[in-house]
Amino acid sequence: MPSRELVVTRFAPSPTGHLHIGGARSALFCWAFARRARHDGADGRFMIRIEDTDQARSSEESARGILDDLAWLGIRWDDGPVLRRHQALGTGHQGVNQGQGGDIGGDSRGVGPYFQAQRVGIYNSYIEALVKAGHAYPAFETTEELESRRKAANAAKQTYRYQRPDDVQIGAFNESRWKRAQAGEAHVIRLAVPREEIIVRDTILGDVKSAAGELDDFVIRKADGFPTYHFAVVIDDELMGTTHVLRAQEHLANTPKHVALQKALVRLDNGKPFRTPVYGHMPIICNMDGSKMSKRDKAKIARKAAKDAIAKDGGITAAVLAGTTGIAQKQIADFLAAESDSVDTAEALASHFKVALPEIEIWDFRRSGYLPEVIINFIALLGWNPGMKQADGKDLEKFDLEFIGKNFSVERIGKGSAKFDRAKLLSFNGDAIAGMADDVFVQRWRAWLAEYEPEALARLDGLGADTLMILAPAVKPRAKTLRDTLKPIAFALASDTGYEFDKTAVEKNLLASDRTGAKLLAEFKPVLAGIDAWTPGSIHAAIEAFAKSKGFVGEKGVNVGPIAQPLRIAITGVAVSPPLGETLGVLGKASTMARIERCLTSL
């Protein structure tokens, strides 16, 4: 039987922070490409590789977070680090490590490890082979030397390019340089790049040319002994069998370097030349105003808030802010001076000054109560569309992961930038929540509360077993995100004495017209106290009967308003809440009575 064509895509995050929305899109498109190849009969594989060669900025915690976010989105990888899921997704703590089975990931093709920091030996053997073949060489210039050359070039209005030393010739092993390096002299390794045009054949953008001489002899191994991103990515894409590289357009400028490396490299295991994978660079993701969507958007808002506060109050200094936020003073000073855009600092300052930051990373959207299937649907539309119509003739815009895996094609990825329309995302999310059956909603609401608002969940559960289910029909249609559910249930989260009465509402509904509302409430109180079966239905019936007995009947039937509003304000403090049957039902009789009493006394 002829073996099926192998199609391998990869997502290769650097573990230096949370998974960005753009990274999630890259992962989704790579996953979908491999999945579509399977539907077409090929052996499609999706792989994850952790690019952690920048030792100072990488962390295992970040790698774990990225994998966890991908798993939350429902993206599964065939090969890559193993994400162990001790508990159901989205709640438990998840561990990540290499190999040996596990819940997601593995090494089915035997091309791991998938953490680049564990592959340094492999990179070094290729570095040595390149040096010996005369395609790379140790370079000994100090940072200061290079900096002064750069300055001189800038002053002469020339583009700075590293000049190959006279003693280096392409194709000839420079033994004396290699010996100096081996003896421990500080150095980097540079690729000896031939003077020739390089063409990147991009499936999305077409041919992208880089003129002869445009690339200088770039660094492939840093002074710390770790390979540069360019080198590691090229070695790994070859050794891991990557056939298709789909990545963000930000990387397009790097690709000529990768092609130059592929031309210079030969496999050590079988002597075959390196292959160039099929490249596709995906559109940039922009905010609605056309600026690039980036983590910096958070820094900008937090910095402005801090600076506005400092302008108003000279007493607020970096030192003071360091004391209150727990972030180092220097970090805060750098951040305020726009020398750093640290997300951690931005988050700490935003929470201190109580400003909301835009969601940028998947983690933000999770915390805000977006649904993973909605995020998947939405990011699929960032630069791609299925090109299909709905029955009503409109473009098909709502679909799930399985649909994407079946219908994905690179041909339908656009060249222009993709706009991130937050209003549209919110409306997709609201539609998805509203469309859930109540029991499904409760299950997911509960999981979200358990992860992000555990105290609120404990309080709700403390009120009774069915609290979430009772509130669901009232909360669900109005919540665009799961976090939105907190506002209408604030009355239930507060203790019987832990909420305030809205002054305007009290004035209008309880005190106006010689305290009509308050008097009605006092009269209704014993009626409520007399209800035996405390259910939303019986409570509602009691309210209606009371209104009827008072003659609150208009053209449209019984008008419960004159008693309902005073009652609502008494037990929630505000004029808007879920229906009263549910509201009182959830609180229970004792709380309801205590709250009415407190309200009447406060008048």
Give the interface with ligand GLU as residue ranges (CB under 6 A): 12-14, 51, 233, 247, 251
- The structure tokens listed for 214 are 């445009």
CB of 82 to ligand GLU, least distance (A): 20
For residues 413 and 383, what is the distance between their CA atoms, to the nearest angstrom? 5
63 vs 449, which CB is nearer to ligand GLU?
63
CA distance 274 to 264: 8
Query: In b/e form, how buried is each residue of 273-310, taking b as 16+ CB within 10 angstroms?
Result: ebebbbbbbbbbbbbeeeeebbebbbbbbbbebbeeeb
At closest approach, how far in Å is the CB of 100 from ligand GLU? 25
Backbone angles phi, psi at 412, to 5 degrees: -95, 10
We find the least distance from the C-beta atom of residue 233 to ligand GLU, in angstroms, to be 5
Strands 244-248 and 198-202: unpaired
Closer residue to ligand GLU (CB): 228 or 509: 228
Query: Hey, what are 347's tokens?
Result: 């988050």
CB of 51 to ligand GLU, least distance (A): 4
Rounded to a whole number of angstroms, the minimum distance from the CB of residue 571 to ligand GLU is: 52
Closest contact distance (angstroms) between CB of 182 and ligand GLU is 30
Q: Are 189 and 148 in contact (CB under 8 A)?
A: no
- Cα(378)–Cα(397) distance, integer angstroms: 9
Q: Which is nearer to ligand GLU, 22 or 517 (CB)?
A: 22
Please say whether the dihedral angle defined by the alpha carbons of residues 572, 576, 577 and 580, taken in this order, is positive or negative. positive
H or E, element range at 257: helix 255-264
246 versus 586: smaller Cβ distance to ligand GLU: 246
Q: Please, which residues bridge with residue 361 across strands? A: 20
CB neighbour list of residue 62: distance below 8 Å, 6 or more residues apart = 15, 16, 17, 18
Contact 568, 580 (CB under 8 A): yes
Number of Cβ within 10 Å of residue 456's Cβ equals 17
Smaller CB separation from ligand GLU, 240 or 302: 240
Please name the residues in contact with 392: beta carbons below 8 A apart, sequence gap of 6 or more.
none
User: Which residue, among 224, 223, 199, 195, has the nearest Cα to 209 in the 3D structure?
Assistant: 199
Q: Tell me the C-alpha to C-alpha distance, in Å, between residue 590 and each of 5, 541, 586, 595.
A: 70, 19, 11, 9
Least CB distance to ligand GLU at residue 98 (A): 18
Q: Quote the least distance from Cβ 12 to ligand GLU, whole Å.
A: 4
What's the min distance (Å) between Cβ of 184 and ligand GLU? 30
User: Side chain identity at 507, as an amino acid letter?
Assistant: E
CA distances from 417 to 248, 281, 361, 382, 414 (A): 11, 11, 19, 9, 8
What span, in angstroms and rounded, lies between the C-alpha atoms of 205 and 198?
15
Closest CB to ligand GLU among residues 253, 576: 253
The distance of closest approach from Cβ of residue 126 to ligand GLU in the complex, given in angstroms and rounded to an integer, is 17
Please identify, using beta-carbon distances, which residue of 12 and 193 lies nearer to ligand GLU: 12
* 386, 412 Cβ separation under 8 angstroms: yes
Minimal distance in Å, beta carbon 367 to ligand GLU? 22
Q: How far is the CB of 39 from ligand GLU (least distance, A)?
A: 24
**Which C-beta is closer to ligand GLU: that of 255 or that of 509?**
255
Three-class DSSP category at 384: strand
